[in-house]
Amino acid sequence: MKTSHFLLLALASVCAHSGLAETFAEKHERLTASPKELSIHVVDEDGRPLAGARGDSISFNPKNGRHGGDDWVADQSGLFICKDPPNYFTTDMRVTLSSSDAAAGWKSYDATVTQQDYLHFVEPKLALKITLPYVRKPIPLKAKQDAFRHRRVNGPKDTEPADPRLPNLAITEVGYDAEQLELMPPHGQGKHLDFTIKVTSVFRGFKDAWTERGAVVDAEIGTFTFDEGKVRYGNWTHSVTYHFPNKGDGIILSPQFWPYCKLTVPHKAPEEGYSPELTLTEEERQTAFRPDLAHYRELMQNNGMFLRVRTQLDRDGNVVSAHYAKIISPQGAGNGFTIFYNPSPNDRNLEYDLQTNLRWQELNPHAKEPKLWDHTYRLHSN
C-alpha cells in the first residue's frame, strides 16, 4: 500500500517544477488528515439489497506506515459505512455474504475492491454500489486465454514485413473457431469459422513536443525505429470488431460487468438480442488512465460479451439449435482475451466450474482433474 504514497510524493515533485507544489501539497494534506466515510451498498444480481452482507476492510496511514481496518455488517437496506480516522484511508475491502446465508450453505463470488485497481478511497466521502453474485450451477466449459500477434510497426530484428498501411493505420483480422478455441489458419488450428476479430489502430499524435522528441532521438541513435516510437510515446485509438457471418449467430455486450469478483458477467447468456457485429473502442493515452467504477467500462478490458454461434433456424427464423459462449476482458487493442464455450447445444449457462475444465481434459486425457496450481485452467475470471 506504500506504493500509492510514493506515487503521490512523485507527483508532488513533478508539480513543484510546474509551480503547483503548494496547491497539490495542501490538497493532499487535507485529504489525508480528514476522517473518511466509505459507503458500500451491497445488492444481488437483481438489484435486491443483501442485508447482513459482511465487509472486511484494510486501511493505511501514509504518515507513519501503519495499517488498520475493521469488520462491517450491512443493515436491512444492504448498506454499511466504513469509517477511517484522520490520516488513514481504506486500501482494500472484501465483501461476502451474511453469516446466516453462509451457514445455510449459500456461496457467493466475493467482491474485492482495492486502492490499486479502480477506486480512490482518499476522498472524504465515497459511495459504491457492489453486486455480489451467488454461486448457482457451475458446469464444465471449454475455456482458454487466447491471443494473436498484432503488429503496428517493424522492429530492428523483425523479419516479417509490417502492414503496408503503417504508420497511420494498422488492421489485423483473424478468424476464430469457438468450439476448438482456436484461431483459424494460418494463425491456428481452427477448422470451422464461427466469427472474425478485426483490430484497428489509429495513431492520434504525440502528447507533446517532449514525447515526440523522445521518438526522434531513439530513431537517430538506432534504439527504436520512429514508428516504434509512435507506439512507445504516442496516443492511439484502438478498436476491435467481432463479426459473425452465419445467419442467426451474433454477439451482445453484457449489460452488467463486475470487475471486482470472479464472476464478471451474469451466469446465463441472453436468449435474444444478438447482433451480427459489435465494435469496442478505447483511447490509449501517454499518461495512465485510471477510471473509477462509474467509468471503468471505458476501458476495453472491462467488458464482457455473450456469443451465439452455430445457430440453426427454422423457416420462420426461430432458433432451433445454437451454442453459447462468452468473451471476457479483451486486452489492450483487443488481440488478447479469455473465451468460454458451452459444448452442450441450447444451454445458455456459462458459469464456469473451476474444478472441471473440458479444454484441460482434452489435453490431459489420462488425468482425473487439474491440480489446484495448474495455470492451464485457472483463468482470471469465469
Give tens-digit pLDDT for 221-247.
988 888 778 877 888 888 999 999 999
Cα separation, 377 vs 382, in Å, equals: 11
CB 258 within 8 A of CB 240: no
Q: Which amino acid is at 131?
A: T
Number of CB atoms found within 10 A of residue 364's CB: 15
What the block records as the C-alpha cell of 254 is: 453484457
pLDDT of res. 3: 39
Cα separation, 149 vs 339, in Å, equals: 17
Q: What angle do CA 123, 5, 86 make, to 5 degrees?
A: 45
pLDDT of res. 189: 92
pLDDT of res. 290: 64
pLDDT of res. 164: 45
pLDDT of res. 371: 65
Cα separation, 267 vs 249, in Å, equals: 20
Phi-psi category of 233—alpha, beta or left, where left has phi over 0 and alpha has psi -120 to 50? alpha
Give the pLDDT of the chain (382 residues) as one tens digit per residue. Answer: 433 443 344 444 444 444 445 576 777 777 778 898 989 999 999 999 999 999 999 988 888 889 988 999 999 999 999 898 988 888 899 999 999 999 999 999 999 988 777 677 777 888 889 999 999 999 989 988 888 765 544 455 555 555 444 334 456 788 999 999 999 988 889 999 999 999 888 888 888 888 889 889 988 898 888 877 887 788 888 899 999 999 999 999 999 999 888 899 999 999 999 999 999 998 877 555 566 787 888 888 889 999 999 999 999 999 999 999 999 999 878 888 999 999 999 999 999 987 777 777 777 778 776 665 555 555 666 6
What the block records as the C-alpha cell of 321 is: 439449435
CATH of 2-131, one of 1.25.40, 3.30.70, 2.60.40, 1.10.540: 2.60.40
pLDDT of res. 19: 47
Q: Which amino acid is at 264?
A: T
SS3 229: helix
Residue in the structure block whose three cell numbers are 476522517: 35
Residue in the structure block whose three cell numbers are 476479430: 197
What the block records as the C-alpha cell of 377 is: 485452467
pLDDT of res. 25: 74
Cα separation, 56 vs 13, in Å, equals: 34
Ordered DSSP codes for 72-117: EE--TTSEEEEEE-TT-EEEEEEEE--HHHHHTT--B--EEEETTT
Delimit the domains of the chain by residue range. Answer: 2-131, 139-363
